[in-house]
Amino acid sequence: MGERKGVSSSKVVFRKLLLFFFTMTSVLFVLSWFYVMRSTYRPHFIEYSLLPNSKHLSTLDGSKYDMQKQNVDSSFGNRAILVDSEDLKEGGRRKGPNGKEKVVKHRGKCHQNDELVIKVYMYDLPAEFHFGLLDWKPNGKSVWPDVRNNIPGYPGGLNLQHSIEFWLTLDVLASEFPEAPKARTVIRVQNSSEADIIYVPFFSSLSYNRYSKRRPNEMKNGNMILQEKLVKHLTAQEEWKRSGGKDHLILAHHPNSMLDARMKLWPATFILSDFGRYPPNIANVEKDVIAPYKHLIPSYLNDNSTFDTRPTLLYFQGAIYRKDGGLARQELFYLLKNEKDVHFSFGSIGKDGIKKATEGMRASKFCLNIAGDTPSSNRLFDAIASHCVPVIISDAIELPYEDVIDYSEFCIFVRTTDAIKENFLINFIRGISKKEWTRMWNMLKEIEHLFEFHFPSKENDAVQMIWQAVARKVPAMRLKLNRHGRFSRSPPSADKELKSIPLPRNFW
């Protein structure tokens, strides 16, 4: 008996030791995790270089949402570990773009992607949701125009900057024709079971621009009514019920579009301009796709300018905002208004403003992008089209296809808190050498085609880059769906709690 007691008490000691070790390791792990999180939690200025041969990396956006997002979808993130620590050190140290050659990550990669074709099932929504908004009327059975013969025109002016819905839908329609370009990234399939993604062709930005004004004696405006109809229609579809919307793609590029419907359709992947108006559980870097604005300023063809022939150092033209995000604009105005080679004026570009802005941007070395009432604007894409090196002061900005492009190669990022310090910005910009500027200007000319919208789409233009970005989301969608469906063949469980599997919170 005595011997037995001895054995069991040594067992207890052993167990206690084991428990102690376990606890210590856990504590150490948690601490190291926090350390990694903290050291990567630095907005902008830092190059988040991709690991070699790694295609599917999410970006760290450094926004205040980051920590919360970890909780939202902890199964897909792991973003913090993917930062190359050498680069981090260097990025933290450096004052501006260094001379080190770094390849824009899309090159090479996209050529591999030529074979990557995404299969899309597009709902045949009634025309009032898409081309009907362009005053096109279906004749015959099809709800779609024959885009080989007749493409309904999208309204011009400021509408165009959010016309992504139009270009993507045209691309899906065109993919069916035998004469479709070879370098396509999308192909329409008629059987939804064979599709990678279910595309919802609602022109939500146009619906917002056209119908969001309420007439005096109406309770709801046309835009709200259309969104209600869409939610009702979608949630009744077999495809939606099958996945809960997780494999659906919905367009909401205008920050105010889908204001009502998005709270109901959020399991889907959205195409957005930024996350400014979205809580992180509704939209985030992991789930959603950021698309560029269509620039309003014409492309600068045969740009023969040089550092010395662009007389203006820094250019800004924009509306003045008093809301929280836009305060920096006023501060910067007071800091910069007396600098001789800085153009800083308020007023949004209207119809005749485009010509002036075109001349202004083409005559400037650097173009300012300051957060307005949303973190993004078409100004960045106007600057790229003008080969005017963008200076981005917008801590919560999201950039299109940032998982394959290193924007620090051709943009300058400045934290808002730094930018509004006296003389900080102007000294920083003046400190950028002709050689550095020229390198970035050359890079702008190399990458500008990634932000051009075409019909038919061209190799690696904005249309195809957006589809490729969508394609990179597909594996994560699959994972979510498959996890969700594990028990689909089991008899239904009485216990509600067991119906969905919880996401893993840790590694053991």
Ligand X SMILES: *[C@@H]1O[C@H](CO)[C@@H](O)[C@H](O)[C@H]1NC(C)=O
CA distance 100 to 105: 15
**Residue 305 in contact with ligand X, rule: CB under 6 A:** yes
CB of 302 to ligand X, least distance (A): 7
> How many chain residues bind ligand X (CB under 6 A)?
6
Of 238 and 352, nearer to ligand X (C-beta) is: 238
When the beta carbons of 303 and 446 are compared against ligand X, the nearer one is: 303
Show the tokens assigned to 461: 């233009």
Cα 220 to the center of its chain, rounded Å: 30
User: What mask, x for binding ligand X by CB under 6 A, covers residues 183 to 222?
Assistant: --------x-xx----------------------------
39 token code pair: 């050291």
CB 33 within 8 A of CB 78: no
Beta carbon nearer to ligand X, 79 or 310:
310
Cα Rg, the chain, nearest whole Å: 26
Region binding ligand X by CB under 6 A among candidate stretches 89-97, 301-309, 356-364, 456-464: 301-309
Q: Which two tokens stand for residue 296?
A: 């309003």
- By CB under 6 A, residue 309 contacts ligand X: yes
Closest approach, Cβ 385 to ligand X, in A, equals 17
Position among 304, 423, 488, 490 found at the interface with ligand X (CB under 6 A):
304
Query: Which amino acid type is present at position 72?
Result: V
**Cβ distance to ligand X smaller for residue 309 or 482:** 309
Nearer to ligand X, 306 or 427 (CB): 306
Smallest distance from ligand X to CB 303, Å: 8
What are the tokens at 466? 């957006």
Interface with ligand X in residues 119-148 (CB under 6 A): none
- Rounded Cα distance, 57 and 23, in Å: 32
By C-beta, is 120 or 226 nearer to ligand X?
A: 120
Nearer to ligand X, 212 or 237 (CB): 237
Task: Choose between 189 and 225: whose C-beta lies nearer to ligand X.
Answer: 189
Where do we find the tokens 């200076």? 391
Residue among 361, 424, 409, 416 at smallest CA distance from 392: 416
Shortest distance in whole angstroms from residue 301 CB to ligand X:
10
Strand, helix or coil for residue 270: strand
Nearer to ligand X, 191 or 488 (CB): 191
Write the binding mask 336 to 375 for ligand X: x where contact by CB under 6 A, - elsewhere.
----------------------------------------
Q: Could you tell me the smallest distance in angstroms from the CB atom of residue 298 to ligand X?
A: 15
Q: Where is 122: in which H helix or E strand?
A: strand 118-122
CB neighbourhood size of 501 (10 A): 10
Give alpha helix (H) positions in 399-451. Answer: 416-419, 424-430, 434-447
Smallest gap from residue 190 Cβ to ligand X (A): 8
Of 208 and 300, nearer to ligand X (C-beta) is 300
Q: What gap in Å lies between CA 360 and CA 377, rounded to an integer?
A: 18
Contact 88, 46 (CB under 8 A): yes
- Sole window of 51-59, 151-159, 304-312, 352-360 interacting with ligand X (rule: CB under 6 A): 304-312
- Token pair listed for 15: 């167990």
Decide: helix, strand or coil at residue 294: coil
Identity at 398, one-letter amino acid code:
E
Query: Hunting for tokens 């403003």 — which residue is that?
Result: 353
Q: Does 149 bind ligand X (CB under 6 A)?
A: no
Q: Which stretch binds ligand X (CB under 6 A): 180-188, 302-310, 337-345, 369-377?
A: 302-310
**76 versus 123: smaller Cβ distance to ligand X:** 123
**Contacts with 78 (C-beta within 8 Å, 6 or more apart), sequence order:** none
- Locate tokens 């025309």: which residue? 127
Residue window 392-421: x/- pattern of binding to ligand X, with contact defined by CB under 6 A? ------------------------------
Residue 422: name the closest of 335, 341, 329, 334 by CA. 335
The span of 148-156, 303-311, 347-355, 435-443 binding ligand X (CB under 6 A) equals 303-311
In whole angstroms, the minimum distance from the beta carbon of 474 to ligand X comes to 17
SS3 percent helix, strand, coil of the chain, rounded to 5, is 40, 10, 50
Work out whether 506 is an interface residue with ligand X (CB under 6 A).
Answer: no
The residues facing 345 across adjacent strands are 317
Q: Does 78 bind ligand X (CB under 6 A)?
A: no
CA-CA distance, 130 to 163, in Å (whole number)?
12
Give the footprint of ligand X on this chain (CB under 6 A): 191, 193-194, 304-305, 309
